[in-house]
């Protein structure tokens, strides 16, 4: 994924909300990724991060008979991991480490940019004609943000199940189970599948910030119905979360993590600590240095936008 909205200066972060549990919808906004309609759910007004999660885009559900609804040409990243999770369809990933992989439902595609990577994401020639999913970015902490770039795929594991409700661990830790996917700070990403009327009580890490994204159908928290494609801030201090399906089945994604505690600068596809790092990464990309080549993508790479103002730390 590439942030193709015209990036201006990063707005100063509003004060972190007070600690404590809440169930508060965050204002997302409609955007566009190379012609594919997307919903930008993080960062958003009033909330920049949930733990280390600093970016969340939702796309689809969409059906298509021809063409490539997902087609993001090679572009660079620094200082983050991209977490791609599909409910339907396929995405072909290629990157400058030479890795390629087709993401499909149930399998995490995880790319660690570390000091720098370039990648492309496109609908493969062999596809099911569907596309529905999310992409998230995890900010890397200081100790890990210059690591070597890497690409991994991991099947999600069932961590909780109860009468038609199922939780699958996508990344991180939940209920004493740890995903083999490489994580550089304490976090979790969990997909929930809820049959109509089904109920699941998930144990949470009370020190984490959590948020819940209903992706389809009828998803409720302690019987309170939620809107799909809206990210709900759950706050902190929760030891458990009761999620249930309503009259119809539902699917949702739970994310959480320890409060990040480091000021970051986010601009275009870069997560850094100051404007000089951003400008240096942009210039290196424009010169064709530092990030390597993405082999096999049928087209040109994405040019970086102009730096309109020096991005401010937050
Ligand atoms: Mn990307």
Q: Residue 46's pLDDT is what?
A: 79
Residue 286, domain member (yes or no): no
- Phi and psi at residue 283, to the nearest 5°: -65, -40
Q: Residue 308's pLDDT is what?
A: 77
Separation of 258 CA from ligand 1 center, angstroms? 24
Residue 219, domain member (yes or no): yes
Separation of 285 CA from ligand 1 center, angstroms? 14
Residue 230, domain member (yes or no): yes
Residue 20, domain member (yes or no): yes
Q: Which structure tokens are listed for 286?
A: 């424009």
Q: Residue 166's pLDDT is what?
A: 98
Separation of 167 CA from ligand 1 center, angstroms? 27
Three-state helix/strand/coil letters over 56-101: EEEEEEEECCCCCCCEEEEEEEECEEEEEEEEEECEEEEECCCCEE
Separation of 119 CA from ligand 1 center, angstroms? 6
**Residue-wise pLDDT tens digits, 155-170:** 999 999 998 999 999 9
Residue 266, domain member (yes or no): no
Separation of 168 CA from ligand 1 center, angstroms? 24
Query: Lowest-confidence range among 6-15, 28-37, 264-273, 289-298?
Result: 6-15
Mean predicted lDDT score pLDDT of the chain: 93
**Residue-wise pLDDT tens digits, 201-248:** 999 999 999 999 999 999 999 999 999 999 999 999 999 999 999 999
Separation of 1 CA from ligand 1 center, angstroms? 3
Separation of 75 CA from ligand 1 center, angstroms? 6
Q: Which structure tokens are listed for 101?
A: 């992989």
Separation of 269 CA from ligand 1 center, angstroms? 7
Separation of 82 CA from ligand 1 center, angstroms? 7
Q: Indicate which CATH number applies to the domain containing 154.
A: 2.60.120.10
Residue 296, domain member (yes or no): no
Separation of 293 CA from ligand 1 center, angstroms? 14
Spatial neighbors of 282 by CB under 8 A, at least 6 apart, are 268, 270, 304, 307
pLDDT (average), residues 105-134? 97
The number of distinct structural domains making up the chain is 1
Q: Residue 32's pLDDT is what?
A: 87
- Phi and psi at residue 245, to the nearest 5°: -80, 160
307 pLDDT band, cuts 50/70/90, is confident
Residue 269, domain member (yes or no): no
Residue 290, domain member (yes or no): no
Separation of 220 CA from ligand 1 center, angstroms? 31
179-197 burial, b if ≥16 CB within 10 A, otherwise e?
bebebbbbbbbbbbbbbee
Q: Which structure tokens are listed for 183?
A: 């994580």
**Residue-wise pLDDT tens digits, 247-261:** 999 999 999 999 999
DSSP track, the chain: ----S---PPPPPPPPPPSSEEEEEE--EEEEETTEEEEEEESBTTB--BTTEEEEEEEEEEE-SSS-S-EEEEEEEBSEEEEEEEEEE-EEEEETTS-EEEE-TTEEEEEE-TT-EEEEEE--SS--SEEEEEEEEEEPPTTTTTSPPEEEEEE-EEEEEETTEEEEEEEEEETTEE-SS--SSSEEEEEEEE-TT-EEEEE--TTSEEEEEEEEEEEEETTEE--TT-EEEEES--SEEEEEEEEEEEEEEEEEES---S--EEETTEEESSHHHHHHHHHHHHHT-SS---TT-SSPPPPPPP--SPPPP-
The pLDDT of residue 61 is above 70: yes
Separation of 310 CA from ligand 1 center, angstroms? 22
Domain range spanning residue 24? Answer: 11-257
The pLDDT of residue 134 is above 70: yes
Separation of 136 CA from ligand 1 center, angstroms? 10
4 pLDDT band, cuts 50/70/90, is low
């Amino acid at each position: 994924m590439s942030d193709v909205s015209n990036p201006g200066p990063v707005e100063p972060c509003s004060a972190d909300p007070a600690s404590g549990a809440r169930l508060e919808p965050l204002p997302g906004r409609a955007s566009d990724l190379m012609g594919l309609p997307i919903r930008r759910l993080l960062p958003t007004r009033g909330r920049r991060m949930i733990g280390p999660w600093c970016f969340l885009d939702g796309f689809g559900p969409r059906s298509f008979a021809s063409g490539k609804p997902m087609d993001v040409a090679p572009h660079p990243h620094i200082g983050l991991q991209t977490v791609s999770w599909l409910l339907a369809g396929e995405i072909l990933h290629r990157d400058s480490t030479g890795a390629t992989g087709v993401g499909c439902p149930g399998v995490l595609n995880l790319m660690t940019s570390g000091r720098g990577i370039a990648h492309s994401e496109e609908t493969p020639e062999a596809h099911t004609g569907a596309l529905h999913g999310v992409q998230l970015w995890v900010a890397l902490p200081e100790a890990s943000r210059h690591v070597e770039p890497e690409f991994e795929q991991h099947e999600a594991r069932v961590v909780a199940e109860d009468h038609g409700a199922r939780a699958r661990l996508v990344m991180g830790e939940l209920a004493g189970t740890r995903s083999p996917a490489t994580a550089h700070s304490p976090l979790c990403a969990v997909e929930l599948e809820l049959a109509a009327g089904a109920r699941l009580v998930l144990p949470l890490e009370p020190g984490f910030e959590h948020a819940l994204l209903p992706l389809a159908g009828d998803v409720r928290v302690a019987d309170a119905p939620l809107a799909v494609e809206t990210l709900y801030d759950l706050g902190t201090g929760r030891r458990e979360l009761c999620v249930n399906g309503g009259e119809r089945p539902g699917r949702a994604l739970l994310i959480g993590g320890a409060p990040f505690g480091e000021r970051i600068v986010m601009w275009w596809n870069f997560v850094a600590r100051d404007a000089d790092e951003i400008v240096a990464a942009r210039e290196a990309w424009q010169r064709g240095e530092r990030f390597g080549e993405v082999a096999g993508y049928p087209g040109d790479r994405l040019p970086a936008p102009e730096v309109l103002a020096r991005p401010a730390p937050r």
